[in-house]
Amino acid sequence: GESVGLHLPTLSVQEGDNSIINCAYSNSASDYFIWYKQESGKGPQFIIDIRSNMDKRQGQRVTVLLNKTVKHLSLQIAATQPGDSAVYFCAEIALTIYNQGRKLIFGQGTELSVKP
């Protein structure tokens, strides 16, 4: 079935270090991928997205890499700060089902803990 999974359930990093969160997806028809951040007591917040015709996209302190060959997605956070502590989810969407609606398929999530 369709699934998006994360390689590591927890990640602990030192403040100032770079963080890398990984994600594997199984639906080769997925055309669009999103990373979300969820803090305790809040809904997921959009961080960055990438379309399947790209292999890299950069935002402010974040970079998403997409490797379609191995169906792998990663989120890199530069100079990780305590405020980055949260659960991070990758999600995929297949644009080919646009006319039938859309749904996000989420991974299980990785908890990022930043030590001061």
Please, which residue, 2 or 15, has the CB nearer to other proteins? Answer: 2
Is 46 a residue that touches other proteins (CB under 8 A)?
Answer: yes
Considering only residues 16 through 45, tell me which ones interact with other proteins, judged by CB under 8 A. 32, 34, 36, 41-45
Is 108 a residue that touches other proteins (CB under 8 A)?
Answer: yes
Is 78 a residue that touches other proteins (CB under 8 A)?
Answer: no
Query: What's the closest the beta carbon of residue 43 comes to other proteins, in angstroms?
Result: 3
Is 112 a residue that touches other proteins (CB under 8 A)?
Answer: no
Query: What's the closest the beta carbon of residue 16 comes to other proteins, in angstroms?
Result: 29
- 110 by Cβ neighbours in 10 Å (0-12 / 13-18 / 19+) ranks as buried
Q: Which residue has the tokens 């997409």?
A: 66
3-class DSSP string for 43-82: CCEEEEEEECCCCEEECCCEEEEEECCCCEEEEEECCCCH
The DSSP code for 96 is G
Query: What's the closest the beta carbon of residue 106 comes to other proteins, in angstroms?
Result: 4
Helices (H) and strands (E) in the chain, counts: 0, 11
Strand 4-6 versus strand 110-115 pairing type: unpaired
Query: Which positions touch other proteins (CB under 8 A)?
Result: 32, 34, 36, 41-46, 49, 89, 91, 93, 95, 97, 100-109
